[in-house]
Structure 1
Amino acid sequence: MGFFSKRVDRQLQAYQQELIETHYREVDNMYKQIRGWRHDYRNHIQVMKAYAAKGDWEAIRNYLDLLDQDLTTVDTVIKTGNAMTDAILNSKISLAKSKGIRVIADAHIPVKLKSSEIDLCCILGNLFDNAIEASLPLPEDKRLIRVYMDMKNTQLYISFTNFTAGKKLPKLGGRFRTTKGEGHGFGLVRIDAIVERLEGYISRNSEDGAFTTEIRLPQV
């Protein structure tokens, strides 16, 4: 039993490290996109200065209209009040949208977290990965992930809901089964282990058409 426990723990640690490295790559990609936008807008300013020097105000108005349309596509920024949470949520939302999955997110963290930001990122990353994977079999117009985070009294409340292919997920040994391979299975175990260590609460509910995970983490 001791050998098996140590083996599982090593696998969990390896998976957690892989998860963190994946998150950092996603965040780095998001920041590269932001740097690209900054470079582009420097060029835009130079163009408008050139129009202004010629007094071509109609060209400036048209250019501003184009920029306004362009800005409406840069709508991935979620501001929770916690920088690392913002980075993970925005990178995952960007990933979901690239796969044709709509995301509705309402997330607020108005207090300094008692729990480790790395722990929270592991939880959020796994929840998003699971929701994205479960959404892919659906037609694009049916793909939707709802994310809600806020303080409820002294607890950080997290809710993830994604629509599924209309079947209630089966359970094995009291747990919902994952159909996505060993790594994802350890991800679910990791979420449970983090929530338990932080003396929190987790609930999963599968109803026809939707799967919801609710988590409460004490912050006092």
Structure 2
Amino acid sequence: MGLTRWLRDRRVRRDLEDYQREVLDTHYREVESMYRRMRMWRHDWRNHIQTMKILAAQGDVDAVREYLDGLDDDLTALDMRVKTGNTMADAIINSKMSLAAEHGIDVHVDANIPVRLDIPDIDLCCIIGNLFDNAIEANDPLPPESRMIRVYMDMKGSMLYLSFTNATASAKRTKVGGRFRSTKRAKGHGYGLMHVDAIVDRLDGYLNRNSEDGAFTTEILLPQGG
């Protein structure tokens, strides 16, 4: 019995490590893609100016207006809409907001990190990325008008406070053994929440999840020095 449990725990740890590497790689690709598009846009800036000069010289005002509208759409897609004061948080939040927009989800973020965090960047990335990914997936079954994600981050004394609320098609869920059971079935599903739990526990933080009809909220407090 002891050997069986040891083998099971070892397999879970291995699967969790594999999942962590996969998620980090996905987050990295999303952030890198956003920055790559920004660099390409800046590189093409002179070409855009030259094109508009030619159109203006030809007196084609409608073409200039259409070209500017296209550039405005591109800039909107690339704009770092959220600036928290923390580079890692900015990168992962903005990349995930772009992903949520592709899923037709209304996202509102109120985030402010006015201090240098003790949290390792990789942990912050994993927490925010996993919570966003779970929130996006929970919204997908809903009609577009019902999809929403609300994110709040700020300092509460010496603690960093994070709150994620997302719409969900599920009715109010009950906890089993103090935890909400994952409703996901595919291999690897559920590891995102396990990874968040493990990080919060390792950082001596506090985590609470609350389920209501049509909404799910995760709250986290992480100590910061002093």
Query: Given the two structures, how large is their TM-score scaled by the length of structure 1?
Result: 0.88
Q: Secondary structure at the match of 1:81?
A: coil
Question: Unmatched 5+ residue regions in structure 1?
Answer: none
Aligned partner letter, 1:37: W
Match of 1:196 among 194, 197, 201: 201
For 1:9-20, what aligned pairs fall within 5 Å after superposition? 9-20=13-24
* Deviations 1:130-174 (CA, angstroms, capped at 9, x unpaired): 101111111001100001111111010000001112511243332
Change (3 A) 1:10 1:69: closer
Which stretch has the larger CA shift, 17-26 or 184-193?
Answer: 184-193
Q: Which residue of 1 aligns with 2:107?
A: 103
How do 1:131-142 and structure 2 match up within 5 A? Answer: 131-142=135-146
> What TM-score, normalized by structure 2, do the two folds share?
0.86
Deviation of 1:107 after TM superposition, in Å, equals 1.1
> What amino acid does structure 1 have at the position aligned with 2:118?
K
Q: Does 1:147 align with 2:121?
A: no
Q: Which residue of 2 aligns with 1:127?
A: 131
Identify unmatched segments of 5+ residues in structure 2: none
Query: What amino acid sits opposite 1:26 in the alignment?
Result: E
Q: Percent identity at matched positions?
A: 58
Structure-1 separation of matches of 2:196 and 2:80: 25
User: Cα deviation per residue 1:105-139 (whole Å; 9 max; x = unaligned)?
Assistant: 11111111111110111111110111011111110
Report the CA distance between 1:39 and its aligned residue: 3.7
Question: What is the RMSD of the two structures over their aligned residues, measured on CA atoms?
Answer: 2.4
Q: How many residues align?
A: 219
1:22 maps to which of 26, 30, 40: 26
Structure 1 residue 43, shift from structure 2 partner: 1.9
Kindly report which structure 2 residues correspond to 1:36-51, keeping only aligned pairs within 5 A, or say none.
Answer: 36-50=40-54
The aligned residue for residue 69 of structure 2 is 66
Q: Partner letter of residue 197 of structure 1?
A: R
Aligned counterpart, 2:183: 179
1:75 deviates by: 4.4
Alignment match, 1:215: 220
Distance of 2:196 and 2:214 partners within structure 1: 23
